[in-house]
Amino acid sequence: MANQRVLVIGGGLAGLAAAMKLAELGTPVDLMSLTPVKRSHSVCAQGGINSCNDQTRQLGDSEWKHLDDTVYGGDFLQHQPPVKEMAYAAPKIIDLMDRLGVTFNRTQEGFLDHRRFGGTLYKRTAFAGATTGQQLLYALDEQVRRYEADGLINKYEYWDFLSPIRDDAGVCRGAVAQNLMTMEIRSFAADVVIVASGGPGLVYGRSTMSMVCTGSAVSRCFQQGAKYGNGEFIQVHPTAIPGADKLRLMSESARGEGGRVWVPRKPNDSRAPQDIPTAERYYFLEERYPEYGNLVPRDIATREIFDICVNDGLSVEADRQCVYLDLTHIPRAELDRKLGGILEIYEKFQGVDPRDFPMKIFPAVHYSMGGLWVDYQKSAEGGLEAGSPRNQSTGIPGLYAIGECDYQYHGGNRLGANSLLSCIFSGLFVAPCVQSAMEAQQGSAADQPASLYENARQDKQSEHDALLNQAAGGENPYLLHQELGALMTRAATVVRRNDQLTEAYEKLGELAERSRNCSLSDSGAWTNQNVVFTKALKDMFPIAKSIVRGALNRDECRGAHYKPEFAFSGLESEEPAERHHQAEAWCDRFEKNTEKWLKSSVASWDGENPQIAYEEVDTSLIPPRPRLYGLVGGEVIEQVWAERMARRHGESGNGAPQESSQAAPSTT
């Protein structure tokens, strides 16, 4: 239909990919972002992007195995059709990014180089130095600039999305937004709005995320009727550099190359690390996990570091929690060769050379698996139906969500280097879906009465004016934000306990109440960051409440969600028959738990609180199986499980990846 436009909120990888694809298909796009799109949070990603590739394929890898690793890593909590579609699209996405000029590292012969990331046995990860996210984002930013020069894309940078506009029938017809410089509030008519606004790190105060990752855009859609899925699943990275302003990521490769984690055995030991003799150092990962040592899986490393500081009180510093990550035993030349880039980051921000002094690190909130609930349409092959208007739809007609802000691809836990992939994939994939939605739409945005847009604008204008003029209530939004961050970090990160969550939920209610009485210290009419921040802060509460409520309800351990009270311990008996018996019981319990909890939480907002419903997960491609990494007796459980599956499904099928001709289309 002529004159139809799409409004994309967010210009990270997901938003740029969608804008580029839509423009290529001939649809004009308005692209809105808090920052110039080139400065979006996606630039922070260092590690890389996953896909099955020519080399891994010859070692037995396939798209199907990428799918399997992703759902196994996610503890089976994601619908499998979208993940399948993504895994099969991945090699093509890497090819595309390569053609767009991304400066991927090369092999001697000039092919793309790859590294291995957690959660897989294959070297699937393509990378560009230590700045893969930046390089991918720039390539898309450049293509978008090209379409902008042709007049197909209009950018609205330094605009804050305030709300979707819904007509009487509930259809989304555009959005209200505010210019961060002039403070002008206006309506944007659009036939489809795609939200690509990234993660909500600021709900936790400080995290590894960027400063615009407030989750505000998502919260505003949520408050207007969109649903929020799997909120309780928050990934915490084991090693970050605590900073007064931000927690900066320290890559896993530091441990991969021999880094040792330790604390002084004596609480509050004030000696410099090099003066503490070996006998007085507690290499707690090596002692507690002799087999894996410092390279225990991410979630275990995170929990142990947290535990040693919070429960054992052995933090290196008295007023700040951290442990040593020590590389000083490795020769300088070797460190420079293997870890140069990331060590420079530490040096740059801490002003200390990690080749001479142990680094101080602590776990940090890193990624939200949860996000806006979105729909999908399954194809006959078990993937997605290309071009279906249901894919990535929030359920509100005309409102779509993609990238980190949707809940679709990572289930209970995201594998490293899979997020850049899901962002680009969902951005490219949504474009034709949105076009079909527009074709099917009753009446276009251009036909809507002007009053629809004017009323929506006025609502937001009055809210803004009221906030600016409200009597000083005495609450400081920045200090309130610190309180919120501390509360969330304490109750809803690594280890979760129902009493703490219950208390936190109540406290959130109080903080939300207090946030209504913020005193604005700025009445300026230009670039009033104070009022913009206060709005974002208020909108953090619906997200924070959904996270905490979801975590409170979920009485089990799954992926990043860990409640010690419900953890499955390993097998105790050493006696083979008894051990087997215990393994059977373990598997019974696992099956019962799967029955009860293999469900996504789907929150809707009632104005004060999230109401949580549960949705069955489509596990039709790969049946759920226990994640046993590091568990005592894991081998026996695995064997019992395999026998059980074999009995149930006849001949083969232990739940491990099966490339059946029906589920996986043949690739030629």
Partner 1 sequence: MSDHAANGHSDSFEVRILRQDAPGESSYWERHRVEHEPDMNVISVMQRVAARAQSADGKPVAPVAWDCNCLEEVCGACTMVINGQARQACTALVDKLLDEQPAEIELQPMQKFPVLRDLVVDRSRLFRALTRVKGWVPVDGSYDLGPGPRQSRTEQEVAYPLSQCMSCGCCLDACPQYTKIELTPGVDESAADFAARQEQTHDSAFLGAHAISQTVLFNSHPTGKVNAGERLDVLMDEGGLQICGNAQNCVAVCPKEIPLTTSIARAGRATTFRLLERWFEK
The residues of the shown chain that bind partner 1, judged by CB under 8 A, are 20-21, 24, 35-36, 38-41, 43-44, 92, 94-96, 98-101, 103-112, 128-129, 131, 134-135, 138-139, 142-143, 145-146, 148-149, 181, 210-212, 243-246, 248, 345, 348-351, 428, 476, 478-479, 521-530
The site partner of 216 among ligand FAD, partner 1, none (C-beta below 5 to 8 Å per kind) is ligand FAD
Residues 6+ apart with CB under 8 A from 650: none
Instruction: For 233-293, list the strands marked E by DSSP.
Output: 234-242, 247-249, 260-264, 281-282
What single letter denotes the amino acid at residue 377?
Q
Tell me if 89 contacts ligand FAD by CB under 6 A. Answer: no
Would you say 61 or 406 has its CB closer to ligand FAD? 406
Residues of this chain, 103-132, that bind ligand FAD according to CB under 6 A:
132
Please tell me which residue in 5, 298, 355, 414 is annotated as part of the active site: 298
298 is catalytic: yes
Would you say 63 or 638 has its CB closer to ligand FAD? 63
The site partner of 514 among partner 1, ligand FAD, none (C-beta below 5 to 8 Å per kind) is none
Would you say 213 or 437 has its CB closer to ligand FAD? 213
Beta bridge partners of 178: 160, 185
- The distance of closest approach from Cβ of residue 235 to partner 1 in the complex, given in angstroms and rounded to an integer, is 18
Q: Which residue has the tokens 């509360």?
A: 487
Among 310, 528, 372, 382, CA closest to 81: 382
Tell me if 238 contacts ligand FAD by CB under 6 A. Answer: no
191: which DSSP letter? Answer: S
Phi, psi for 115 (deg, rounded to 5)? -125, 170
Residues of this chain, 385-414, that bind ligand FAD according to CB under 6 A:
403-405
d(CA 441, CA 5): 13
- The distance of closest approach from Cβ of residue 199 to ligand FAD in the complex, given in angstroms and rounded to an integer, is 6
Would you say 348 or 647 has its CB closer to partner 1? 348
Phi, psi for 126 (deg, rounded to 5)? -80, 145
Q: Label residue 55 exposed, middle or buried (CB < 10 Å: 0-12, 13-18, 19+).
A: middle
Neighbours of 50 (CB within 10 A): 30
Q: Label residue 244 exposed, middle or buried (CB < 10 Å: 0-12, 13-18, 19+).
A: exposed
The site partner of 552 among partner 1, ligand FAD, none (C-beta below 5 to 8 Å per kind) is none
Would you say 40 or 78 has its CB closer to partner 1? 40
Residues of this chain, 142-171, that bind ligand FAD according to CB under 6 A:
159-161
Would you say 415 or 552 has its CB closer to ligand FAD? 415
The site partner of 110 among partner 1, ligand FAD, none (C-beta below 5 to 8 Å per kind) is partner 1
Residues 6+ apart with CB under 8 A from 485: 202, 203, 204, 205, 206
Strand arrangement, sheet containing 114-115: 49-50, 125-126, 114-115
The site partner of 632 among ligand FAD, partner 1, none (C-beta below 5 to 8 Å per kind) is none
Tell me if 208 contacts ligand FAD by CB under 6 A. Answer: yes
- The distance of closest approach from Cβ of residue 622 to partner 1 in the complex, given in angstroms and rounded to an integer, is 26
Residues of this chain, 28-87, that bind ligand FAD according to CB under 6 A:
32-35, 37, 40-42, 44-49
Per rule CB under 6 A, count of chain residues that contact ligand FAD: 46
d(CA 305, CA 321): 9
Would you say 179 or 436 has its CB closer to partner 1? 179
Tell me if 9 contacts ligand FAD by CB under 6 A. Answer: yes
Candidate segments 88-96, 207-215, 429-437, 579-587, binder of ligand FAD by CB under 6 A: 207-215
Would you say 46 or 294 has its CB closer to partner 1? 46
Residues 6+ apart with CB under 8 A from 279: none
Q: Label residue 442 exposed, middle or buried (CB < 10 Å: 0-12, 13-18, 19+).
A: exposed
d(CA 517, CA 474): 7
The site partner of 149 among partner 1, ligand FAD, none (C-beta below 5 to 8 Å per kind) is partner 1
- The distance of closest approach from Cβ of residue 561 to partner 1 in the complex, given in angstroms and rounded to an integer, is 28
- The distance of closest approach from Cβ of residue 425 to partner 1 in the complex, given in angstroms and rounded to an integer, is 12
Q: Which residue has its beta carbon closest to ligand FAD?
A: 12
The site partner of 21 among ligand FAD, partner 1, none (C-beta below 5 to 8 Å per kind) is partner 1
Q: Which helix (H) or strand (E) holds 371?
A: strand 371-372
Q: Label residue 229 exposed, middle or buried (CB < 10 Å: 0-12, 13-18, 19+).
A: buried
What single letter denotes the amino acid at residue 509?
G
Q: Is residue 100 within 8 Å of residue 16, measured between CB atoms? A: no
The site partner of 473 among partner 1, ligand FAD, none (C-beta below 5 to 8 Å per kind) is none
Candidate segments 79-87, 89-97, 213-221, 498-506, binder of ligand FAD by CB under 6 A: 213-221
Among 566, 608, 609, 610, CA closest to 589: 566
Instruction: For 5-158, list the strands marked E by DSSP.
Output: 6-9, 29-33, 49-50, 114-115, 125-126, 153-157
d(CA 86, CA 579): 40
Residues of this chain, 349-368, that bind ligand FAD according to CB under 6 A:
366-367
Would you say 36 or 101 has its CB closer to ligand FAD? 36
Structure tokens that stand for 339 in this block: 């870890």
Q: Is residue 215 within 8 Å of residue 540, measured between CB atoms? A: yes
Would you say 73 or 198 has its CB closer to partner 1? 198
Catalytic residue ranges: 298
Binding site for ligand FAD (CB under 6 A): 9-15, 32-35, 37, 40-42, 44-49, 132-133, 159-161, 196-198, 208-209, 212-213, 216-217, 249, 366-367, 403-405, 417-420, 423
